[in-house]
Amino acid sequence: MNISIIGLGYVGAVSLACLARDGHRVVGVDIDQGKLDQIAAGRTPVVEEGMVDLMQAVLATGRVSVTKDVTEAVHATDLSFVCVGTPSAPNGSQDQGATLKVAHELGAALRTKAGPHVIVFRSTLAPGTVEEVLCPVLERESGKTRGEGFHIGFQPEFLREGSSIRDYDKPPFTVAGADSAHTIDVLRSLFGHLSCEFHATSIRAAEMLKYCCNNFHALKITFANETARLCEALGVDPFHVMDLVCRDTQLNISRAYLRPGFAFGGSCLPKDLRATMYLAKKTDVELPMLGNILSSNRFHLEHAIGKILRSGSKRIGMIGLAFKAGTDDLRESPLVALAEHLLGKGLQLLVYDPAVQLSQLIGANRRFMEDHVPHLGALMCDDLQTVINESDLLVVGMNDPGSVRMLLERVRPDQFVLDLVNISREQRAPGRYLGLCW
Ligand SMILES: NC(=O)c1ccc[n+]([C@@H]2O[C@H](COP(=O)([O-])OP(=O)(O)OC[C@H]3O[C@@H](n4cnc5c(N)ncnc54)[C@H](O)[C@@H]3O)[C@@H](O)[C@H]2O)c1
């Protein structure tokens, strides 16, 4: 394939070298004449393992050329990858100046190009940028319409400096964000041979994914470092502890706990986080990330309260009260906290949770209910149908399949449903669904 790469920094230069190595003809574009001269001489413009030899080898094939002129590059190729920088602006926002400038130049080049062209952005971009900011520029400058005169896409780049050629050949996955089968087909033909999964998705999801991955990596590093600082203060070997943490591939290094849902609670996580923070205070260790988890959890609860209040419903039916289905443990259940807030706002409440019938509660849970939330006992109802009949809004906080199925069979089309358990879209019955996060 004939491919142009605009922006020859770490991402662009490594992509140029690897695509040329794989047999494609590649035109490199940059505003930095020094980088173009280096590539034209078979030298690497970035310091990266393996690039010195690879650049020499690909230049010798005659498949690599360079230019400062975007129009020349677009006319000579079928596909352009945009790899220019998107650094931080002083206020923390993304400086999209380079991508905007490239979009203007690409649009102008498309105006005079006869055949179709695919433009895939590989620079990290805030969600919505390609479709709402860059595509309108392309359409205006080219006089053509997306999907007709040209195709667009976003493919997040996952290479890491220092191992970028290896990462190019063995990425965690390939994610192609596009709204046209043509763009997906082109990206599959270029990257489908790699030994990883290939996922086609929307442009916006692909843009968001890149931020999510980087944020998750930053979170993991900070978790390990905060843990290490506390370990050091407590005389524990942090490497040994983190090695053991990573050996649990069931709950720790796994998909567990990574599905969005309601706030966490229960008898362990909140109390152990508080105890951790107390240890940090006692040993003068600063743990800002761990220290903010409980306040983030509270924001999530408030988010749900806001959705309920904004619906205008006065009669609320809660399906589930314990911190998870199948248990009668009410200690620090976020659903109990939600119920308390709603009562405090003067709303009428009925609660259905078959595992939490006051008559059946024993021991610590009975004491908890009598001591902490005695008024909730009177609001418990053991008949789901009654709760549904007498509510304007149902909060589904229990993902027990039997109750969810029964609820979905009986929910009225005029009734609001605040779904805290991610009922699948196919399962949803008529009703006015308010997802927690959508
Ligand atoms: N560096 C990484 O490891 C990495 C990994 C994944 C994603 N990314 C993302 O990829 C993008 C590029 O990162 P990078 O590290 O390669 O950047 P870089 O700063 O190393 O290179 C950017 C290149 O774009 C060129 N450029 C700027 N304006 C231009 C224009 N108008 N026309 C042509 N060329 C222009 C610059 O001269 C420079 O050579 C960024 O959005 C970054 O966030 C980087």
pLDDT of 34 reads 97
Ligand 1: distance of its center to the CA of 8 in Å?
A: 7
Q: What single-letter DSSP state applies at residue 94?
A: B
pLDDT-derived band at 135 (thresholds 50, 70, 90) equals very high
Nearest CA to ligand 1 atom 13: 85
pTM over 0.85: yes
In this structure, how many other beta carbons lie within 10 angstroms of the beta carbon of residue 334? 21
Q: Whose alpha carbon is nearest atom 44 of ligand 1?
A: 11
Mean pLDDT, the chain, rounded, equals: 93
With vertex at residue 10, the alpha carbon angle to CA 9 and CA 11, rounded to the nearest 5 degrees, is 95
Which DSSP category does 196 fall into? Answer: S
Give catalytic status of residue 213 as yes or no.
Answer: no
pLDDT, one tens digit per residue, over 242-274 is: 999 999 999 999 999 999 989 999 889 999 999
* Bridge pairing between strands 174-178 and 150-154: antiparallel
pLDDT (tens digit, 9 = 90+) per residue, 90-134? 999 999 999 999 999 999 999 999 989 999 999 999 999 999 999
Q: Which atom of ligand 1 is nearest to the CA of 160?
A: 3
Ligand 1 site-directed mutation target among 10, 48, 49, 168, most atoms within 8 Å of CB: 10
| Token pair listed for 148 | 């007709």
pLDDT value of residue 33? 97
Burial of 20 (0-12, 13-18, 19+ CB in 10 A): buried
347 vs 267 pLDDT, higher one: 347
Atom 20 (ligand 1) nearest CA:
9
Output the CA 120–ligand 1 centroid distance in Å: 14
Pocket of ligand 1 (CB under 6 A): 6-12, 29-32, 35, 83-86, 98, 101-102, 123-124, 157, 159-161
Name the closest-CA residue to atom 18, ligand 1: 9
From 18, 213, 246, 268, active-site residue: 268
Residue 437: pLDDT band with limits 50, 70, 90:
low
Q: In this structure, which residue's CA is closest to atom 27 in ligand 1?
A: 84
List, for residues 4-51, the tens digit of each pLDDT value.
999 999 999 999 999 999 999 999 999 999 999 999 999 999 999 999
The Å distance, Cα 391 to ligand 1 centre, comes to 55
Asked if pLDDT for residue 438 goes beyond 70, the answer is no
Best substitution site from 84, 96, 100, 207 to test ligand 1's pocket, by max atoms within 8 Å of Cβ? 84
As a whole number of angstroms, the distance between CA 434 and CA 419 comes to 6
What is the spatial distance between Cα 156 and Cα 174, in angstroms, rounded to a whole number?
Answer: 8
- Residue predicted with more confidence, 81 or 419: 81
Are 141 and 110 in contact by the 8 Å Cβ rule? The answer is yes
